[in-house]
Structure 1
Amino acid sequence: MDTPLLAARPLRRGATLFVAGLLAAGLLPASAARADGPTATSLITSPGYTRSVEEVGPGLTLMTWANPDDDRLVQVLRADPDAAPLTVESTAGVGGALAEPTTGMLASTTTVAARRPHAGINGGFWNIQGDTLAFMGVSVQEGVVQSASCAVPDRAEAVLVQHGRPYMSQFTTHLTVTAPGVAAQPLDGVNRHPGWMPGCAQGSGATADRSIGGGIFTDASEIVEFTPQYGAPTPAPDSDARYTEDDDPGAEAVVGPGGTVVGLNPSGRGGTSVPAGGRVLQGTGTGADWLRAHAVPGTVLTVRESLRDERFGDDVPLDASVDVVNGHYPLVRDAQHAYTGANVDVAPRTAMAVDGPGRTLFVAVTGKAGRNGVTLDGLASILLDLGAVDALNLDGGGSTTLVVEQTVRNRPSDAAGERAVADSVYIGHGGYGLYATS
């Protein structure tokens, strides 16, 4: 990992806590926090909507807003880490390349049923590549990068979870591989097919990426890393019939736990299991040429990863305390309405937020019976009325899932029920709770 630069870190934390303090003290009312004009009435303050409150456990409150004359339902799980020993974490399940239901992911975090997470929501955006999935942006699990970020900071929104607390910002990854005596070579991606990427241009070589439509970007020359968390054999050429950009046979190097190359296929790739503690590198175009020249068996390769907070300009230490879940569209920033996009679709929505007192909010807006929800602008208004200081939109639609004590509490819009997703964020056991005061 690169050496972290921490000089700006206190400023970031201080700015967030300052705004949170104003809200908690009532000096900055959420209803006056919109930066784009007059305050709009959100769904939860609309006529006919009433709130029910359920204390589902120490420090955990489930709030539901419903209207007998409206199909829409707003559900908010609020976790107070100062009232009980609670921690925020994330998981990509048993294999990062394979989608799983949120309930299954949460159950697999521990073999001890009593220690399973209290609550969880579906996480970041993703797309299918052949018979595996790829994240549409950054993913980090326990300090290990599992997907490269979008190259453009404005598309690199994510939730960083560290030491049980979430923080929303724009996070970019910077990844290289080095062989003895040669300059560092950019790694273009992690745990995705070489040749094309969903959602955004990725990696240090992103200046070569081009859009081919449908939200897909392509690059004929790449080196892509696969980690043990991938949980599936590495992809073969032409794994997805929809695209020709992954047809190059390329080359593939297997790297052991100490960085030593233990195998090289100079004229093909795919079907390889990633060794425990090691990695597999696949190359196409000039990336394959680099592997053929420098990933000779017995050579030690050095992979360097760093994570940068673009909002405040500092590097985040990649240690086991760090998880990152990608999102798209900041909704609230510093207690201000932050959504400025043009998406006006009404759809089921998932969001994650931190409020003035520092509590974590999981928010799901769905229909009682079918596919219903709100616009992104409407979701931002709801979050402001909930007192959010920072909030980020997560994957929605049929993915929207709110789980409390292993029970799905919303109605997923897919006809089959709960959808398998790429990752989840959850409230688990841990932390150091303080006695609540009246």
Structure 2
Amino acid sequence: MVQQTQHVRSRSLRLVAPLLAGAIVLSSSFSGGFIPHSYAAVAVTYKLVKQTDAIVTSGVRELSYKWVPSDSKQATEAVHVLQIDLTNPYVKLDAMGGPKGSVTTKQSVGAMAKETGAIAGINGDVFRTGIATEAVPMGAQITSGKLLVSTEQLTGMYAFGVTADGKPMIDQFKFTGTVTAADGAQFSLTGMNKSAYMTEPNSAYSHVDALYIYTSAWTAPERPVNSATKPTEALVVDGIVTEVSIGTPIKTAIPTNGYILRGHGDKTAADFIKTHLTVGQPVQSEYSLQSMTNGTTYAENAFQMMVSGHTLLVDQGAASAFTRNINGVSGGADRARTAVGYSKDGATAYLVTVEENGGRDGVTLKELQQILVSLGAWKAINLDGGGSTTMVSRPLGEFQVQLSHPTSYGTTQRLVTNGIGVFTTAPSGELKGITASGPKTLFVGGQANYSLKAYDTYYNPLDPTGLAAIWKLDKAIGTISGGTLTATKPGNATLSVTSGQATDKTTIEVIGEAQISQLTVEPSSRVLRPGAVISVPVKATLTDGRQLSIPAASIKWEFRGFTGKADGGKITVDQVQKNASVGYAIARYDGYGTVAVLAAGTEKMLEDFEKATYNVGFAGTPVETVGTTTISTGIPGRENSKVLVLDYDFTNGKGKRYANAVLNDGKGISIDGTPSTMTLDILGDQSSHWLRAEFTDAKGKTVYINVADKIDWTGWKNVRIDLAAGGLTGPSKLTKLYIVNQEQDQDERAVTGELAFDNLVLQYPPAQIAVPKPTIVMTVGKKEATVDGKKAALPAAPFNQGGTNYVPLQYIATKLGATYQWDNAAKKITVLRGDRMLELWSGSSKAILNGQRLTVTGSPILQKNNVYVPIRVITEQLGMKVEWDQKKKTITIH
């Protein structure tokens, strides 16, 4: 679930227009914000482009699309669809929930599917996590014809259901119910299995003076927390009152054949229980859902299933007005999205998700409306989005569901309150076909194992034991032996598998240099010293927005300024070359390069907490934020050593919240000198909070430095902090390590959690890598120049070609303190200067600066065994400035 967004990203500059010939026309507009005058209204056409279409089971297909602008100049978004044939006799939809049917315990969509036997599914209803709450669905949930949760008294909330006769329905419902005592007295039921909330539009406490019913699906210890009421309760088993408790909750567990009536108010619901419900007497509880659009009343078994959501998105095949304020779900911002809808004839249901991961930002709700219309939805609603967005499905021939696409957390699935599951009731059939199971994306030098899977006439999995497999590649992107594919060069190929008369084909992609827009390496340390062992994970951002980790075996390393070896994602520095103050660890994948710049320096342990004698404490903001800070042992992964532990609880309070681990009563830990970086081991809790550090610098000024934008990991992780970039000057002190629960999207983050910190290590390389910064003046056509005012001879005269000035590379590199290497086979120059690596290709406008792909206006030229480079490109990308005097034909570098 996502909260209100307080800013609008540039990609949200859109307004939806009608669907034209399969493409959606969008023009510039800020949804929910002002329109800067620098923006003109420009019509942009967007469209869905199908990428894949796969059978999940009989009556269910999984499709993926790109949501792309017609000019293809922007990053594309990825849309995923489960298309369900509701007329298929073997397919049904049902609501999934918490473990063993609990409505108060969350679990991932994947875990829901595994528990229930679903062959596909998506996340469902919105839920609250920003306050103390059981986080039950905000709307109604019906599972297998049984109402588990009622609706809340909220405005504009819609639900998706499938009726007992298999017809889809989207409508707004309200809960109605009545309890009838043995003496004939009656009282209205307000809801079933509900957390406490504020009703709309009157902002009243939901449980005050109200009567609620709680079943065995409610497994939380209270009914509910923070209700602002004192309960009077009656336990009913098999229609007979077995226990009554005045003013206190009943402690007896609710049996599956019973329920608890919970009331409040001396002259209302509680009084009804006290006056009319007697132990041993029968009681009757009846309830139903009523359409708020036509008044029709439905018994719970009138529906196979129901999952609620949020606003209506599509009505009668067109984008509808939002029925509910969309600020609470960041409707005007680009986010991951989940939706459900159905076709005009009611024969097809669409379960839809939009990715938000890596370079993919997701979409606004206005865009989601048009995506749904493009898919053919006649009516559709928004479900929970953001970090909750999840789709799982069972690949053909597999027995278990898998993630259909990354979540906002990568491969981690958020725990959610419920979901929509897709189920098959098809009987076992005969062998119909086989399929190749294994990765679709590889890297050069990487290996992947493929196995043979089988499926029957209903596209459900069969045991492939005894089926022999023959594997073949149609293109030489690698070698295949016994189901193990070794990728040797980039490209796409078809991998086929044959067993008897059955065959299957799958497309394999080996990522190549041309697909990379940025290559990054994040070394665990940048200190250049003999014996240093440095972790060097390498990641690639592709031109289509995907962000992928490249396996260590696919990376080739080059070392300049030192000797070393690379193994298993780590480099070990053997010897540093004499007088070398800087070393370059160049990572290359398929020829594409990036660099980790290492500098001679020292490392110092700031704190490992083994002998810490100072106090540590907890401080929370606002005052409702509570927690503890301790130096403890026994923490998983550090059982036998001391670590700093921060426990926090953001259950109460409003707005932005802080949990601080305060060091030495706020006086801090002293840091000598001015280190450039600090590394520390952090035990993450995947809470998605913002992690920061507070320092006091040499002048007593407070300096805040980011540690992690999002705690999106569990287990111990080594994290590097750039102190120099944060502006920290020494000597200084580390006073706090703290997390921030930002006001935006609070319910995307954990309310409570625990972090731990260990091994705070400082690095002291030179504050800045020294490079010459001369002023060089040259004249086109002349072999004379001045360097810092002194005359100098050039090996060759600068010249102008096609409006671009060229100078001899050897001369300019030497004067700027750079080194270079010319690769004659690739016609490529690699230039290293300070903290930069620039690569240029002869005859090409492409360039790479520190792993980032660039487009430049000129390229190197080889003449008479001399390499000439475009002066503006080479100097400005290496950190210098260039001035051109057209009249005098002079080039000034400074």
TM-score range, shorter chain: 0.7 to 0.9
Render the CA deviation track for 1:293-340: whole Å, top value 9, x for unaligned: 122211211111112223333222322753221111111112122133
Matched, 1:302 2:284: yes
Contact 2:150 2:194 in 1 (8 A): no
SS of 2:366's equivalent in the other structure is helix
Alignment correspondent of 1:121: 122
Quick one: structure 1 residues 183 and 372, their matched pair in 2 at CA, closer, same or farther if it must change by over 3 Å? farther
Aligned-partner Cα distance in 2 for 1:33–1:191: 47
Render the CA deviation track for 1:78-135: whole Å, top value 9, x for unaligned: 12244672112212232111111111111111xxxxxx22210011122247462222
Quick one: structure 1 residues 321 and 211, their matched pair in 2 at CA, closer, same or farther if it must change by over 3 Å? closer
- The alpha carbon displacement at 1:415 in A equals 6.7
Q: Which amino acid aligns with 1:374?
A: V
Alignment correspondent of 2:134: 132
- The alpha carbon displacement at 1:372 in A equals 2.5
SS of 2:355's equivalent in the other structure is strand
Contact 1:364 1:410 in 2 (8 A): no
| More RCO (CA 8 Å, sep 6+) | 1
SS of 2:104's equivalent in the other structure is coil
Aligned-partner Cα distance in 2 for 1:168–1:47: 26
Aligned-partner Cα distance in 2 for 1:266–1:350: 44
Quick one: structure 1 residues 48 and 305, their matched pair in 2 at CA, closer, same or farther if it must change by over 3 Å? closer
Matched, 1:427 2:432: no
Aligned-partner Cα distance in 2 for 1:266–1:210: 29
Q: Which amino acid aligns with 1:160?
A: G
Quick one: structure 1 residues 264 and 411, their matched pair in 2 at CA, closer, same or farther if it must change by over 3 Å? same
Q: Which amino acid aligns with 1:143?
A: G
Map 1:66-215 to 2 at 5 A.
Answer: 66=66, 70=75, 72-82=77-87, 85-93=90-98, 94=100, 95-109=102-116, 116-128=117-129, 130=132, 132-151=134-153, 155-163=156-164, 164-193=166-195, 196-197=196-197, 200-201=199-200, 210-211=202-203
Alignment correspondent of 1:51: 51
Q: Percent identity?
A: 26
Contact 1:140 1:322 in 2 (8 A): yes
Alignment correspondent of 2:314: 332
SS of 1:262's equivalent in the other structure is strand
TM-score between the two structures when normalised by the length of structure 2: 0.39
Quick one: structure 1 residues 33 and 211, their matched pair in 2 at CA, closer, same or farther if it must change by over 3 Å? farther
Matched, 1:268 2:256: no
Aligned-partner Cα distance in 2 for 1:320–1:82: 18
Larger mean Cα displacement after TM superposition, 390-399 or 305-314: 305-314
Give structure 2 stretches of 5+ with no counterpart: 1-17, 28-43, 395-400, 428-456, 459-894
Quick one: structure 1 residues 394 and 388, their matched pair in 2 at CA, closer, same or farther if it must change by over 3 Å? same
Quick one: structure 1 residues 83 and 175, their matched pair in 2 at CA, closer, same or farther if it must change by over 3 Å? closer
Pairwise CA RMSD: 3.3
TM-score between the two structures when normalised by the length of structure 1: 0.75
Aligned-partner Cα distance in 2 for 1:281–1:370: 50
User: More strand per residue: 1 or 2?
Assistant: 2
User: Of 237, 242, 245, which aligns to 1:256?
Assistant: 237
Q: Which amino acid aligns with 1:105?
A: M
Map 1:393-412 to 2 at 5 A.
Answer: 393-405=382-394, 406-412=401-407
Q: Which amino acid aligns with 1:149?
A: T
User: Of 361, 368, 377, which aligns to 1:388?
Assistant: 377
User: Of 392, 395, 413, which aligns to 2:408?
Assistant: 413
- The alpha carbon displacement at 1:46 in A equals 2.5
Alignment correspondent of 1:283: 263
- The alpha carbon displacement at 1:365 in A equals 0.7
Aligned-partner Cα distance in 2 for 1:92–1:49: 33
* Aligned structure 1 segments of 4 or more residues deviating by more than 6 angstroms: none
Alignment correspondent of 1:27: none
SS of 1:197's equivalent in the other structure is coil
Map 1:361-372 to 2 at 5 A.
Answer: 361-369=350-358, 372=361
- The alpha carbon displacement at 1:270 in A equals 5.4
Q: Which amino acid aligns with 1:80?
A: D
- The alpha carbon displacement at 1:50 in A equals 5.4
Matched, 1:348 2:348: no
Contact 2:126 2:137 in 1 (8 A): yes
Q: Which amino acid aligns with 2:213?
A: E
Render the CA deviation track for 1:211-265: whole Å, top value 9, x for unaligned: 27xxxx54521222101222344437xx34xxxxx243321111102x1110011
Aligned-partner Cα distance in 2 for 1:248–1:400: 34
Alignment correspondent of 1:224: 212
Aligned-partner Cα distance in 2 for 1:275–1:379: 43
- The alpha carbon displacement at 1:356 in A equals 4.2
SS of 2:197's equivalent in the other structure is strand
Aligned-partner Cα distance in 1 for 2:311–2:21: 18
- The alpha carbon displacement at 1:378 in A equals 0.9
Aligned-partner Cα distance in 2 for 1:252–1:391: 39
User: More helix per residue: 1 or 2?
Assistant: 1
Aligned-partner Cα distance in 2 for 1:78–1:224: 37
Q: Which amino acid aligns with 2:407?
A: P
- The alpha carbon displacement at 1:385 in A equals 0.7
Alignment correspondent of 1:5: none
User: Larger Rg: 1 or 2?
Assistant: 2
Aligned-partner Cα distance in 2 for 1:273–1:230: 10
Aligned-partner Cα distance in 2 for 1:275–1:282: 16
Render the CA deviation track for 1:13-39: whole Å, top value 9, x for unaligned: xxxxxxxxxxxxxxxxx93699xxx96
Contact 1:234 1:273 in 2 (8 A): no
- The alpha carbon displacement at 1:58 in A equals 3.1
- The alpha carbon displacement at 1:180 in A equals 2.7
Render the CA deviation track for 1:275-306: whole Å, top value 9, x for unaligned: 12110111222322221112221121111111
Aligned-partner Cα distance in 2 for 1:314–1:99: 32
Alignment correspondent of 1:12: none
Quick one: structure 1 residues 50 and 134, their matched pair in 2 at CA, closer, same or farther if it must change by over 3 Å? closer
